[in-house]
């Protein structure tokens, strides 16, 4: 069964520190996405990727970088974490087989920046 996994599931970081969130998918999908989820804002796209070596800015990329070293792995990097980046982060993968545009989500990472 297709799967998207994320690590860590929970993370506490200090302001100004570097945080890396990791995502792995076994769907063999070309596209991968990073979202953050906040009350009153729903899911907002931070970065996405078309495939290994590519990263693209989403709707709210400021303060975040992304890395896609392989088809399976997609990382979100906070070089200088701030309390405003406290949120739940979701990774997703998706492709366009036939007429389905479904995205498959991981279980999420809860990040707290103190």
Partner 1 sequence: GDSVIQMQGQVTLSENDFLFINCTYSTTGYPTLFWYVQYSGEGPQLLLQVTTANNKGSSRGFEATYDKGTTSFHLQKTSVQEIDSAVYYCAMRGKANSAGNKLTFGIGTRVLVRP
Residue 20 binding partner 1, by CB under 8 A: no
Smallest distance, Å, CB 9 to partner 1?
Answer: 10
Task: Please give the size of the binding site for partner 1, defined by CB under 8 A.
Answer: 29
Nearer to partner 1 by Cβ, of 17 and 45: the residue is 45
Calculate the alpha carbon distances from 9 to 34, 41, 57, 110 in Å: 15, 21, 24, 6
CA 6 to chain centre: 9
Residue 107 binding partner 1, by CB under 8 A: yes
């989500």: which residue's tokens?
105
Q: What angle do CA 46, 11, 51 make, to 5 degrees?
A: 35
Query: Between residue 23 and residue 42, which ones bind partner 1 under the rule CB under 8 A?
Result: 31, 33, 35, 40-42
Nearer to partner 1 by Cβ, of 12 and 101: the residue is 101
């Amino acid at each position: 069964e297709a799967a998207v996994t994320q690590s860590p599931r929970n993370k506490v970081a200090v302001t100004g520190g570097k945080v890396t969130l990791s995502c792995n998918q076994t769907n063999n999908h070309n596209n991968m996405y990073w979202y953050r989820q906040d009350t009153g804002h729903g899911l907002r796209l931070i970065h996405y990727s078309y495939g290994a070596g590519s990263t693209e800015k989403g709707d709210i990329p400021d303060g975040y970088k992304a890395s896609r070293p392989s088809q399976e792995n997609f990382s979100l990097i906070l070089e200088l974490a701030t309390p405003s980046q406290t949120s739940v982060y979701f990774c997703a993968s998706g492709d366009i087989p036939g007429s389905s545009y479904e995205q498959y989500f991981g279980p999420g990472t809860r990040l707290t920046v103190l």
